[in-house]
Chain A
Amino acid sequence: MKILLPSLRDNHRYVLSQVHPVWESLDPRDVYYAMNDVARGWFGDTRISEIQPVVIRFSPGFLIVRCIRGGEADLTAILLTIVEINGKRVKLCPVRTSGTIKGLNEFLSAHVPPVMSKQEVRVSGTLVPVLSDSQGRIDIPDDDTGPKQLRFITTQEVEGA
């Protein structure tokens, strides 16, 4: 296949998005399917074929998605309205749009996300394994807890903190 001249290629935009909770393990393929489903619901196949959203990179806590220039506003709306990926509740927050991946990498290196560390704390009289960060966030990543269970707390709720 003949390679297109740079001037004839499509101009892309790359959207960097935070993924919450940071400890949730996701398959980039599932992220793509979820994004495609939501995009089809909002804009239809015609617009998706114009935007061409593609997952470029996924690492815990961050996601880089590519689209055609001019489609970044729609892509942002799509990412914002994703609430579930393969049965896992997530939240995607677009934080930066750039014309190059290098630009996003520079942004990422300057804005290191808070690291969550494993520990055990006592909540409501029970010792539970949790993930916490330096800002006081504590997540209880227990798969057995139902939707009405306490999963996201701060150091204020920890007994003896």
Chain B
Amino acid sequence: MTATDATVHPYPGGDTSLSRFALEAASLGYDRLLSTAGPACRMGGVEITPAVIIREQTLKGATRIIRKACESEVRPVIMVNARDVAFNRAVLSFPGLDVLRHLHKSQKPSFDHVSARMASERGVAIDIDIRPLLVTSGHHRQKVLKTYRDILGLHRKYGFMLTVSSNAWSWLEMRSTPDMAVICSLFGMTREETAAALSSPERLLTHESPVRVIS
């Protein structure tokens, strides 16, 4: 089973070069990194896959960028930052989306059973970002933990894919694959679920979908 860190931000966004991220990722037990900068390549035994994060406020803007990214020569992994319920449902129904992330940033719970079913049917993964667990505290962290517990509950019921990302701007924010399982256990994710979530970007890239009964 492969392990992928679903978001890293190398230089110029962060303070660590892409090759250093790859070197550290290899020593931390990763096989692949989804990187917001740099080309698709293989460095030090780690596969680098470009990813694009869409931070648009409007659906129109987000869909325009998704369409543009889908048409590019090397198709990146397309991630969209979540907004309210209406935005999330609309963007989930749009073809080309791979990962919906930052659900903890919504003011109100924005991922319900309808969105969960849509994500499951369309093979869209929901991202678990561990960075807010490390850098926030108190009320903010409690809200993040609550959101992740809710997502986990829906994941167990509807079976959509999860990804786990360090969202690291520096290699100091990356954690090894066993350490990810320890951090994810803080909101009730089992070791097996974490391992499956770490390997799910591989399924996203090969566009494998779970077996479904159609008749």
**Which B-chain residue is minimally distant from A81 (CB atoms)?**
B134
User: In the complex the two chains form, is B172's CB within 8 Å of A90's CB?
Assistant: yes
With an 8 A cutoff between CB atoms, is B39 at the interface?
A: no
With an 8 A cutoff between CB atoms, is B17 at the interface?
A: yes
User: In the complex the two chains form, is A157's CB within 8 Å of B17's CB?
Assistant: yes
Contact residues, B196-215 vs A (CB, 8 A): none
Scoring A90, A148, A154, A157 by chain B CB atoms within 10 A of each residue's CB, the highest score goes to A154
With an 8 A cutoff between CB atoms, is B133 at the interface?
A: yes
User: In the complex the two chains form, is B19's CB within 8 Å of A157's CB?
Assistant: yes
Contacts of B170 in A (CB 8 A): 89, 151-152
With an 8 A cutoff between CB atoms, is A118 at the interface?
A: no
Scoring A42, A93, A147, A153 by chain B CB atoms within 10 A of each residue's CB, the highest score goes to A153
**Which A-chain residue is minimally distant from B131 (CB atoms)?**
A83
Query: Given A21-B172, A76-B182, A81-B183, are A148 and B134 also a contact pair (CB < 8 Å)?
Result: no
**Which B-chain residue is minimally distant from A41 (CB atoms)?**
B137
Scoring B23, B133, B175, B183 by chain A CB atoms within 10 A of each residue's CB, the highest score goes to B23
Interface residue count on the A side (C-beta < 8 Å): 30
Contact residues, A37-77 vs B (CB, 8 A): 41-42, 73, 76-77
Please pick, from B13, B17, B176, the residue contacting A154 in the complex, using a CB distance under 8 A. Answer: B17
Distance of B207 from chain A, by nearest CB (Å): 32
CA distance A80 to B173 in the complex (A): 10
Please pick, from A80, A91, A145, A154, the residue contacting B182 in the complex, using a CB distance under 8 A. Answer: A80
With an 8 A cutoff between CB atoms, is A149 at the interface?
A: yes
CA distance A59 to B108 in the complex (A): 46
Binding site for B on A (CB under 8 A): 20-21, 41-42, 73, 76-77, 80-81, 83, 89-91, 93-94, 135-138, 145, 147-154, 156-157
Residue contacts A-B, CB under 8 angstroms, 18 given? A77-B182, A77-B186, A80-B179, A81-B134, A90-B172, A91-B173, A93-B175, A135-B23, A148-B13, A148-B14, A150-B17, A151-B15, A151-B170, A152-B16, A153-B17, A154-B17, A154-B20, A156-B17
